[in-house]
Structure formats: C-alpha cells, structure tokens
Amino acid sequence: MTDDVQTDIQAVANIPLITTLLDVASQTTGMRFVAIARVTDTQWVTCAVKDEINFGLKPGDELELNTMICNEVRQCKKLVVIDNADIDTNYKSHPAPAMYGFKSYISTPIFKPTGEFFGTLSAIDPEPANLNNSRVIGLFTLFANLIAGHFNAFERQNNSDNELIKEQEITRLQQIYNKELATANEKLAATQQRQAELLQQLTGANAKLQQAIETGNMGTWSIDPVTQKVTLSDFIRKLIGFPLDEEITVEQTMSVIDPAYRVELAGVLNDALINHKDSDIEYPITNLVTGERKWVRSTGKLLFDSTGNVSEYSGILLDITIRKRNEDKQAMLAAIIESSEDAIVSKTLEGIITSWNNSAERMFGYKEQEVIGKHISIIIPDDRLPEETVIINKVSNNERVEHFETMRRTKWGTEIPLSLTVSPIRNEQGKVIGASKIARDISRQKIAEERLQNYAEHMEILNSIGQTISADLDTQSILQKVTDATTQLTGAAFGAFFHNKVNEKGESYMLYTLSGVPRSAFERFPMPRNTNVFGPTFRGEGIVRSDDITKDIRYGKNAPYYGMPEGHLPVVSYLAVPVTAKNGEVIGGLFFGHPEPAKFKQEHEQLIAGIGSQASVALENARLYQEITTLNAKKDEFIGLASHELKTPVTSISGYLQIIERGLPDGDRSKSFINKTLKQVNKLTTLISDLLDVSKIQTGKLPLSYAEFDLVAVLADVSEMLQQNSVRHKIELNYNKKPIIIKADQQRVEQVVINLVTNAIKYSPGADKVIINAGVSDKKVKVSVRDFGIGIAEDQHSRIFSRFYRVENLASHMSGLGIGLYISYEIIERHHGKMWVDSELGVGSTFTFELPII
C-alpha cells in the first residue's frame, strides 16, 4: 500500500459520522455490507466498512481489482446497480457475485474536489434487492457526493492543516533563521566594528609608517619581477638625485651605487628573484646631481601570488650615512685609542674595568682579557687606594680630574709615575655610568723635569756664583768663594782651587784656596806638580773625572810618593777641572776629592766647568781692577805732584806780572797784554788749585776751616763778581732779605757757588739769565742755581758728580776737566750737607745744595 492510499484511508476515517453514513446507507438500501474503497488503477483498498454479513474486510484490506466490478465503475466512472446478479443481464456472468457471494450490488464513483477519481461507495448483499430505482440510486449518489464533499473538506482541512504545519514550520524556521540571522547580524556587526577598528588601526599604522618613513630618513622601493619595472619613492629619488616623475630602470638605479658594491648587489638581486631570498645590504651611493656620497641600507622582501610565484620584490631604503659616519668615527676613535701612546681604560662607577687599550697592556703588563671585569685597584698601590674614591666621587658629580700625578702599579709590582685624566662616561640620558681614564707615563717627563730642575738649579747656582764673584774684585776672595761653592755643589769631601799668578817681577807662583778641610791639612804637602794625574789639568787638556783615581793608570807613577803622600786625605772619587782664561791660557784648576768611589757625575763636570769659566772672568776682572787701581793711584800721585810743582811757578808768574802791571804807566800798550796774561794765569791758578783739591780729596787731606758768616753776603758778592764778567746773562739772586748765618768753610762754600754759577752760564749759551735762590727751612739752608740751558739727560745725573766726568759730545767751547762738580760735591758732603741736580735735556738745570745751620 502506498503512502497516498494510506493517507486516503486516513482521510476517509477522518470524515465525521462516516460510520453513521454507512449505517444510513445500509438501512435505507437494506444492503448489509457497505464499503468505501480507494480504487486506483492497480488496487482496491478498503477505507471504511459496514459489514453485517461477516464479509471480513477491514479498513486497509485489499481485494483483487480485476475481480471487482468497481474497476468498471473506475473505468467508466459510472454507477453500477445490480438488483439480482443471477438475473442481471450485464453481470450474471461476472465472476464477482459468485466470488464474493452477493446477489445485489450497487457501487457509485467518488470524485475528489479536483475531479480526480477517488474510489467507490459500494454495497452488497447476499440477497437480491431492489436497488435500481431513483430513490436508492439518488441516495447512493448523495452519499457518494457527501463523502466527496467531506473528502473535499478533509482535503481542504488537510491542506490547511498542512499549510498550518508548514506555516508553523516556516515560522519555526523563520524564528530559528531570525535568531541565527540576528546572531549572524551581531557577528557581522561585531566583525564590521572590528573591521572598522582594524581599518582605523591600519590607517593609523599606515600614517605612522608613512611618517616613520618620512622622518626616519627612509623610502620605499619595489621591482616587478616580470617587467623589471622599478618603483622608487620620492625620498629615494631625491637621495639619488633622480627626477621625481621619470621612469627609472634597474641599470639607472645601479649606476648610482658605488662600483665596488655593484657585483655584490647584483648577487643579492639574483638571490632574491631566483632563489627567493629576502635581502638586506648596505652600500654607498652617489647623488647624480650633487655628487654627494651617502650610505644606505636596503632591505627587500618577496611577495608571492596564489600560485607561489614572486609577485613583487619590494623594500625599504634607509639613509644610514650618519650611522656609518658614527661607525667610522667610532672605528677611528677605536683606532686612535688603540694606537694611543697613553693608556686608556674605562671602568664602571664601581671601579670594574670595562676596556683596556694596547698602551694599557704595555704600561701595566696586564693583557686585556686578564683585567676586563676586574677591579681597577689591581693597578693601584695600596697606599693610594683612597685616591680612587676621591676620583670616582668627582666623576660621579660629572667633574673631570685633570693631570693628576700619581703612581700606579704594574703586573710586576713596580710603581710608575703617571699623569691621570679621568672623565665621566655618560649614557644617552646624560647620566654618569662610568669613567674613562687616560694615563700618561711620566717617568721620562719626570726625569726630564728633574733634569730641567737640576739645570735650572745649576743655572741659578751659576748665576748667583757669577754675581757674587763678579762683584768681588779680590782674587783670594774669589778663589775662596768658588772653591766653597763648587765643593758644596759636587758633594766633594774637600775641594781646592789652585791659581797660577805672576808677580810684578814676572815670577809665577801659585795661590790656592781650600774647602772642606783646614788649610793645615795641606800645608805639609808640596804644591801639585806636573804629575801624570795633575798634569793634564794644569796643561788645560780637559776635565779628569774618575770614580776611583787609585785605579787610574796615571795614578802612582811619580816619585817621590808614587800616589798620595802619607797623611794625605784619602781620595777615591776625583774630579779636576782646568780654569782657562779667554785667551786659552790656563790660570788654574779646581780639584775635588771624596773618600768614596763614584761620587762625581757628568753633570758636575759641566757645572764646575761653567763656574770655572766665570771664575776665570772674575779673576781676570780682579786682575784688571788691580791694574787700574794701581794706575789710578799712580795718576793721582802724578796729578798731585804736577799741580803742586806747577803751583809755585804759576804763583810767582802771577806775582811778577802784577808787579810789572803796577809799574807800567797808564796808557802803556803793554798793560792790556799784561792784564790778559794775568787773566790766563789766574785761570791756570784756579785749574791747578782744583787739581790740587782733587788730590787732597783723594788723599783725604782737604782741610776745612769752619767760621760763622752770612751766606747771603757771600751769594751777593759772588753774583756781583761773576756778573762783571758776564755780559749776556743776568744773575738774579732771590732771598728774603735776611742774612743767613751759617758755620762753614766760607772759602770752600764760595768755591761751590762760583762753580755752580759758572757752569750755569757756561752750559746755557742761548739763555740770558741765571737764578740763585736761597732760603732756610728746618735748620737747613738751601741754595739752588737755576739755568735755562742745554740740560742734562736723566741717566747722567748721578755721574756728573764723579771725578773727571763730563757729559759726552759737549760743544768745543764748553771746555773743562770735569772736576768742578766733583770738588763741590765733596765740599758739601764734608759739611754734612747734600747736593743734587734737577735737570731736563734742552730745558735747563737746577743744582741745589743744602747745608746745616749750626
């Protein structure tokens, strides 16, 4: 049975009052078996049944269709009525009545609302019946229609039920769908939201990337693997000096790259496009326009399509010129550090060594790997450890420690003098994180400094000795000073200076001075002779220095002592320096001895030689001075003698001339000659008396005869007298009209005033006056003579009072001996007064003297 038939059976069963309908059909027709059957072209199936004859059919039972009259009803779609099968003409031979045991039969077709044949409403009875009449047929047709109607209703109902179910299903599905849709929507919304966020992030990231690219000195590039088309961002184009809007080829790109890197770069390109390797390479480029060279770093990435082929080769190009420069700088710095003569060491603030250059290895003996990570105290002597704390404290405060001289210890324990410069090492934030130390080995410098110090000291000694001995003009004193100084300088136990001298008779003899030992220690011994040891010095053959003279081959070769005489001071270290005069003549020798060996060094030789030459100059000066003093004395003696011898005849001449003059009658022509001669003789007398005064002063025999007198009167007399002889100059005397009584040698004071006024007139040939001022103050009388003449240069002021001194280049008419001021000065001095000059060259001079008023 098919599902459709089953549904049909159910549909019939669902017809309300179907049993009643079958009952009514049975009762109104008298048929005891009534059935509704679903008849298809293959089946006859019972749908509902009223069976009072125990036919035995139930709903769902099937009967053989071919055996059924209903088949004909189906085929003809017409009602079949058989009142009595035995006699019915149409069906008496039909197998059905016999087969199913009925005599009467009625079957009417039932159609679905669609007009489709459904089945039959049939009734049978074993007995004949009166069916073929309009009432029964009408009833059956009615029943069939009713069923059809119900069936229609059922169908509709069924349809509507189905639809309802369908609707419900649809509603349910819709609900599920809606729910899922809502969920999907939510998800979609969330996804969209996320997408929007991602997009926003992406946009932000992109903007940042763009910004990073722009500000980070970088640009983008790409190469199409198929067409080899190169795309470069503006940054790169500007970097290489290529127009922004022109196409560029791989070759053109290559042309800006440093030739030394092109092969490598081609290899990288090849590796990328053929072996699919990402790239990262650094190389220099040259700007096509400016020719500027820059370093770039190019990183490239490969992008693949769905088939696994390279779709794009692109990347970023970074301008790394500054980094490279820094790297170069760092490399240079590293090279400098490595090649530096100074030890360069860096350490943390805790003192842990972090770097150690070659010179540090050389200086301290530790290899880099031995000290890195160790504490700096490894090279600090124990007694200098506190220094480190001070240094680190300074450095921590961002201060530098400069040229700090100290000692450091090497691997071998020796200590070396160093000059340290320690600077703070700061991180990028400027925080001090360590210290870098430059250590300079100053051993040599120290030696040099010591030498320099020695040299300076020696120079100082030489200088001071030079000054002392050059100021000394006494030979013996010079010899002693030099001996003392040199013995002390050399650290000798004793020293001696032997000096050859020639006496007035031309005999040579030897002076000597000793230092370090009393003279008595030497007095027993003969003077050094031309022995093998002393000879070279006295012959001026050079310095002899011996660490142990007793081992010298020259030693002990001479009779009578063959070495040192008994009782001689023990000499082991020996130094002998010849002292020679400018002309090369040996004037003596300096000898030093010490009982211990190797006491004298080379520097001593130079020093003593230096002092020796100064000594020779000083001795020469002393000799010359001696000679000059002797000559001077002789000269003074001669002047004294000559003026004394001249004075008497000149006085006689003057006396005789005066007698002759007085004896001549007035108007005698000879008289004027006599007077002129007398004037010249007076001049001569003055000159001689001046020269005599000089001699007297020299010998200390200038007697003064003190008496009280009025200085003003003297000044007035002198002015008047000199005014008579002077036509051009007016002599002006200023005083406060009161006499000034002093106690002095009137003649000598007069002599002074005459001398000053005469000079004032003599040395002011272009002027017309001389002013004499006299005044008293503080128990002193002050007299000054002022002129307006040639004046005296400042540097001459002190000299003009010296004996025989005259200012150089004086005009010929200003004759003189240069003794007037000398005598005047001495006279005033001896009166316990003072004399000085104020003068300006070309302006005039004022000579002043002061005398005490007693």
d(CA 697, CA 801): 13
- Give whichever of 146 and 772 is closer to ligand ADP, judged by the CB atom: 772
CA angle 211, 217, 219 (to 5 degrees): 75
For the chain, the distance separating the N- and C-terminal CA atoms, rounded to the nearest angstrom, is 188
**Is residue 44 helix, strand or coil?**
strand
Residue 817 Cβ vs ligand ADP, minimum distance, rounded to whole Å: 5
- Sign of the CA dihedral with 107 first, then 108, 114, and 115 last: positive
In the complex, the smallest distance separating the C-beta of residue 835 from ligand ADP, rounded to whole angstroms, is 12
CB of 793 to ligand ADP, least distance (A): 10
CB of 510 to ligand ADP, least distance (A): 45
Residue 362, SS3 per DSSP: helix
Using CB under 6 A as the criterion, which residues of the chain lie in contact with ligand ADP when the complex forms? 755, 759-760, 763, 787, 789-790, 792, 800, 806-807, 810, 816-822, 845
Q: Compare residues 394 and 806 and give the one whose CB is closer to ligand ADP.
A: 806
Closer residue to ligand ADP (CB): 771 or 807: 807
Question: Nearest to ligand ADP by Cβ — which residue?
Answer: 816
Q: How far is the CB of 499 from ligand ADP (least distance, A)?
A: 40
CB 555 within 8 A of CB 593: no
Which two structure tokens, joined as six digits, stand for 760? 């004032």
Instruction: State the minimum distance, in angstroms, from the CB of residue 845 to ligand ADP.
Output: 4
Rounded least distance, CB 599 to ligand ADP, Å: 58
CA dist 49 and 26 (Å) reads: 10
Q: Are strands 279-286 and 293-304 parallel, antiparallel or unpaired?
A: antiparallel
Q: Cβ atoms within 10 A of the Cβ of 254, count?
A: 14
Question: C-beta of 726: minimal distance to ligand ADP in Å?
Answer: 14
**Choice between 787 and 850, CB closer to ligand ADP:** 787
| Nearest residue (CB) to ligand ADP, 647 versus 806 | 806
Whose CA is closest to 823, among 813, 814, 831?
Answer: 831
Sign of CA dihedral 87, 92, 98, 101: negative
Residue number, 230 or 817, with CB nearest to ligand ADP: 817
Please report how close the Cβ of residue 830 comes to ligand ADP at its closest, in angstroms.
Answer: 17
Size of the chain in residues: 854
Distances, alpha carbon 821 to alpha carbons 306, 667, 824, 825, 847, in Å: 128, 40, 5, 6, 10
Q: Give me the least distance between CB of 702 and ligand ADP, in Å please.
A: 16
Q: Are 284 and 295 in contact (CB under 8 A)?
A: yes
Classify residue 62 by burial, with Cβ atoms within 10 Å: 0-12, 13-18, 19+: middle
Write down the least CB distance from residue 677 to ligand ADP, Å. 22
- C-alpha span between 360 and 340 (Å, rounded): 10
One-character DSSP codes across 332-346:
HHHHHHHH-SSEEEE
Nearer to ligand ADP among residue 8 and residue 693 (C-beta)? 693
Burial zone of 653 (CB within 10 Å; 0-12 exposed, 13-18 middle, 19+ buried):
middle
Look at residue 514 and give its three-state secondary structure.
strand
Question: How many other C-beta atoms can be found within 10 angstroms of the C-beta atom of residue 582?
Answer: 9
**Using CA atoms, how far apart are residues 625 and 623, in angstroms rounded to an integer?**
5
